[in-house]
Amino acid sequence: MKNQYFFYSAGFIILFLLTTGCNAKTNSYHVSGTVTLDGQPLTETLVMFSPTQEGKGEMACGYTKEDGLFEIQTPDGKADSGTTFGEYFVTFTKTESRWDGHSYHYDEVTKTKTQEKVLYGVEVVPKIYTAKETTPFTVMVEKQNNKFMFELKTQ
């Protein structure tokens, strides 16, 4: 009888964990907005929301579109899922590929030196906006009205 009770209890606990998950589900709130750099829409830019306090909030991110608009999603990958209630640092990053025309390749077989282009990445966003330690932007995500406008400046 004790074994039967144990198996029923264990089965109930496993069923509960499978249906609810190991962590309690927290509410996510829709977050969107616009990002500009010197008044122009900043496209293809990663917008990161990082909690200002450890354990209070959930990191989330999204990419800007051609018009600078973005919508945030949580790390679980659900598009436009927003993030949880709390205060967040907001950072931005955008890397563009550039060609370096000053690199050379030396061919050991033919003993010739040829100029070649090397692809490298350049951060477009001013450094102040790329780290939570230096960004001037903090926002409060609430149950509603989470539409933000971020105006970045190069100077």
State residue 85 phi and psi, 5-degree precision: -60, 140
Share of the chain above pLDDT 90, in %: 46
User: What CATH number should be reported for the domain holding residue 125?
Assistant: 2.60.40.10
List the beta bridge partners of residue 1: none
Q: Does residue 126 register a pLDDT over 50?
A: yes
Beta bridge partners of 32: 71, 147
What is the average per-residue pLDDT within 26-45? 92
Torsion-angle region of 13 (φ positive above 0: left; ψ -120 to 50: alpha; else: beta) = alpha
Q: How many domains does the chain have?
A: 1
Query: Which is more confidently placed, 102 or 148?
Result: 148
Q: Which amino acid is at 47?
A: V
Say if residue 8's pLDDT is above 60.
no
Residue 51 gets the label, from left (phi > 0), alpha (psi -120 to 50) or beta, of beta
Tokens found for residue 85 = 């209630």
Residue 93 structure tokens = 């990053």
pLDDT band at residue 15 using 50, 70 and 90 as cut-offs: very low
pLDDT at 106: 74
- The range of the structural domain enclosing residue 62 comes to 2-152
Better-scored residue on pLDDT, 11 or 91: 91
**Where does the pLDDT of residue 6 fall: very low under 50, low under 70, confident under 90, or very high at 90 and above?**
very low
